[in-house]
Amino acid sequence: MKVIRAKSAGFCWGVERAVQVAREEAQGGQKRVYTDGPLIHNSQMMKALSSEDIREVGDYNSQSQIDIAPSNEKDSVVVVRAHGISPERRKYLKQLGLPFRDGTCPDVGIIAGKIKLHAEKGFHVVIFGDPEHPEVIGLLGYANEKGHVVSHADDIESLPALNGKIALVSQSTMFTHEFKEVAQQLKERFEEVVVFDTICGATKERQSDLILLVEQGAEVIVVIGGKHSANTRKLAKLATAQGRPTFHIETSKDLDPNVLSNYQIAGVTAGASTPEFIIREVCEVLEQIETKI
């Protein structure tokens, strides 16, 4: 089988930075690193990091209390996940009494800054995103109780009457065309709306590259990434929308050679939290599949 790999497949710079921060603190396992929830949304990478004594504690949404047992063997440090956390969560983590490092993606930090600034100016803040996603939960904490989350353009009608100015931002991993629809609906209902397109460049690049795979002749699309990864799920949804059979997998073990042998050309992309070793292995397995056509 011929394999076409998207240029943008794999770690984005924000994820790469978070992993680097954790590894710097761990010093090859000399220190113990606790991440508040999964550092990134890829269980295979988190398992690999565990060999360096980088441990996930807490829960997926970074909301539960953390019980960290003191270690007499080595020093410990708390590292904030790439998705960021709320100010209240930050205060709680610092009160644990351990050294603290922030692995928040700088792009997410910019969104948080815009929300905080405009909330302090009296704006209502509307966040386009998944209300259950840890990034959105963290961002909402900067809105000073002036925040509202919408997942679809249709949700605009369910918003309460918001008097005064409104600032619209987006979770960093959403679809650009859906964000535009939300912005249009918001402007039609409310008079004073300021729009900030905060979908990150890495997300936009992945979405564009996926469409390019189809244009290059990919008959089937394989999207690699964690099942909890928002940007990976978005890629799989976009691939399906292009009219191509789509398989969202986590590792090469999830591939079905019998089904995939019905296609000659496979397009491969991956979410921003998918490590290179998994992408490379998937491509190698696909290339070994003998097509029936």
The catalytic residue positions are 135
On whether the CB atoms of residues 63 and 85 are closer than 8 A, the answer is no
Q: 166-170 and 147-150: which strand pairing?
A: unpaired
N-term to C-term CA, the chain:
10
CA distance 208 to 215: 11
Gap between the Cα atoms of 134 and 89, Å rounded: 12
Cβ distance 130 to 171 under 8 Å?
A: yes
